[in-house]
A and B are shown apart, each in its own frame.
Chain A
Amino acid sequence: MSALRSYGLLVRWTGLRQKTFLPFAIIIQGLFSLGIVIGYPLLFPQIDARTILFIATAAPSITLITMGLVAVPQQVAQARTEGTLDYMRSLPIPRLVYLLADLTVQLLIVLPGVIFGVLVATWRFNLPIDVSPWVVPAVILVVLTATSAGYAMASLLPPLIANLMSQVLVVLVFMFSPLQFPADRLPDWLAAIHRVLPIQAMGEVMRGTLAPAEFPVSAGSFVLLGAWCVITFGISWRVLARRR
């Protein structure tokens, strides 16, 4: 009960601190989704409906992953530099509760943009999007994994390196990950790596729950992502709890 109380208070604290930044964040996330959904198809002179659907259903994963791997490390690095992270760690709150409250606020910031992007895609291309209820666990898994990875990265690496890493990861996610194109277009070795990394699985669970009729998702993707979620979340929890 007291953990739940701490969780509520912390969500309020973090939410209020992000209050002024929140509308901008939501607008940027919305524009970002819009850019992928509307902008990307412009690269191709002729584009069939299935490809558009493929790209449109990749947008949520890209938005969520970018938030986790870019925005979160930047925030954590800032909190470390200004001493807020140490202050929060000095309060009587279980580390797990602190981490969950932070991830909750991240989710609340990113979600409106994602939903907006999907709605615009449906309207613009008249897409047969038929969302499955599995989309809820899919979003939670993707957000938890991506933000935990960002959290762990920013807590373990020096701020400068963490920022650099997040830039490298953006390029990796955008250009060399099978999110907006099928994995068979990648060189064999890279495709093999992506069968183990969580990025492809993130794309698959999002796509498979947003348009299940067109892109069936295997339980294997959920299992792989679940494993990554446990690993990255466990690492950030340990990192947060450790004493130097």
Chain B
Amino acid sequence: MQYPDVYGYCHTGWYHDTIRYLKDTDPGPGPMKEVVTMLLEIDGLAKAYRKGARANDGISLSVEAGEVYGLLGHNGAGKTTLVNQVIGLLKPDAGRILIGGHDVVADPGHARRACSIQPQATLPIDGLTPRQAIELVGRIRGASAIDVRARRARLVDGLDIGEWLDQDGRRLSGGVKRLVSFAMAAVAPGGLVILDEPTNDVDPVRRRLLWAQVRALGDEGAAVLLVTHNVVEAERSVDRLAILDHGKVIVEGSPAQLKERVADDLRLELVLEPGAEPPAPAPFVLHTVVTGQRILATVPSTAAAEAVGWADSLKRAGHVEEFSLAPATLEDVYVELVGRADALQDANGGHGTAGSGGDGAAGTDGAERARRDTEEASRVGAA
């Protein structure tokens, strides 16, 4: 089997290590023997913080080379805790993390060579221009000056940020800083590229350019772990995804697989008149999520006509300002799953088993959390 030199420009240790791993695990020629190379394998990962919050609670997942894998979940679901363990900033309480077959819990130095990361926090690059920041990080990651320059030029073109290339980082807008931060992760990418909320603050046009570059990383052979709570964007961009809630993977699969759960469903969205009480659900409504003035009702597609009639009558009666009926999306699966998990939590009288480093999600009311995230998702979706 031939291995294309996808990172021919990149002479870092991880690449050779990974290729060696690919060769070691290659079962050789044979009928229909497909080589599945799991670049990242996480097994039974657990991490609790000192205050007792279990940020990761037995997480297992794996990401193939060439795959864009989404990690979705609320603030505080345990996503960043997971990432920090992969790159060796945090030490797991239990579980295994393998990158390219190499145990990185025992050898965090290998993780840093094998992973490049775009962190969630906007990196201040005051004093540096995007050109300097991208090229210096590329060279610190081990690539040669010539390769880094060529790769930087491609990324800057691809993201359309050329006009800021030589401007001081202090004067860049938040969106441009994030794109530069992405380029810093992609200029000499590891076998595993971790992107934590890469599109925050980025304008809609460049958002698309960014997704194309994310896809390109996967096509070049890197495994991409994409951390986000933006369900709408994730649906379009990932090959597979896991939804994390309270430190556990509650569901995993491709967007299409997950949507099968709601394939026969429609989403009826009602926007209440200010001050109006939510109406009692009609008999055909499967379940509802009330988020402030907005009600998301899931209805079977066979009840489409009745649903429209019901919504219309509510509108005429002055309870509802507007409504829409549409096929269910990944967002509906997300809200249903996470909302249900929260409802279960509430029923058991238990809050706050999650929370990564105390970012405030633990102990928040379930409906409130669903509202926050739905609003966030729809705001982004509208953009």
Contacts and interface: CB of A to CB of B under 8 A. Distances in A.
A243 B120 CA distance: 19
A21 B126 CA distance: 10
Contacts of B127: 16-21
Nearest to A244: B90
Interface in B129-152: 132, 136-137, 139-142
Contacts of B119: 83, 86-87, 90
Interface of B: prevailing SS: loop
Contact of B112 (A13, A19, A90): A90
B121 interface: yes
A92 B123 contact: no
A82 B124 contact: yes
B115 A90 contact: yes
A6 B139 CA distance: 8
A9 B140 contact: yes
A20 B126 contact: yes
A9 B134 CA distance: 12
A90 B89 contact: yes
Contacts, number: 70
A138 interface: no
Interface string A15-56: 011111100000000000000000000000000000000000
A84 B128 contact: no
B221 interface: no
A169 B125 CA distance: 31
B353 to A, nearest CB: 20
A91 interface: yes
Given A19-B127, A243-B90, A92 B140 contact: yes
Nearest to A81: B121
A231 interface: no
Interface string B74-99: 00000000001001111100000000
B200 interface: no
Contacts of A21: 127
Contact of B91 (A17, A86, A87, A244): A244
A104 to B, nearest CB: 16
Contacts of A83: 119-121, 123
A3 B109 CA distance: 14
Contacts of A19: 127
Q: Max chain B CB contacts within 10 Å: which of A20, A89, A90, A243?
A: A90
Nearest to A20: B127
Nearest to B117: A90
A238 interface: no
Contact of B12 (A16, A17, A92): A92
Contacts of A92: 12-13, 109, 112-113, 140-142
Q: Max chain B CB contacts within 10 Å: which of A18, A84, A91?
A: A91
A195 interface: no
Given A83-B123, A243-B90, A91 B139 contact: no
A13 B124 CA distance: 12
Contacts of A91: 112, 137, 140-141
Q: Max chain A CB contacts within 10 Å: which of B13, B90, B119, B170?
A: B119
Interface string B99-124: 00000000011001101010111011
Nearest to B92: A243
A22 B140 CA distance: 23
A92 B141 CA distance: 6
Q: Which 3 A-B pairs have the closest CB atoms?
A: A83-B121, A243-B91, A17-B127
Interface of B: 12-13, 84, 87-91, 108-109, 112-113, 115, 117, 119-121, 123-128, 132, 136-137, 139-142, 168, 170
Interface of A: 2, 6, 9-10, 12-13, 16-21, 82-84, 86-87, 89-93, 243-244
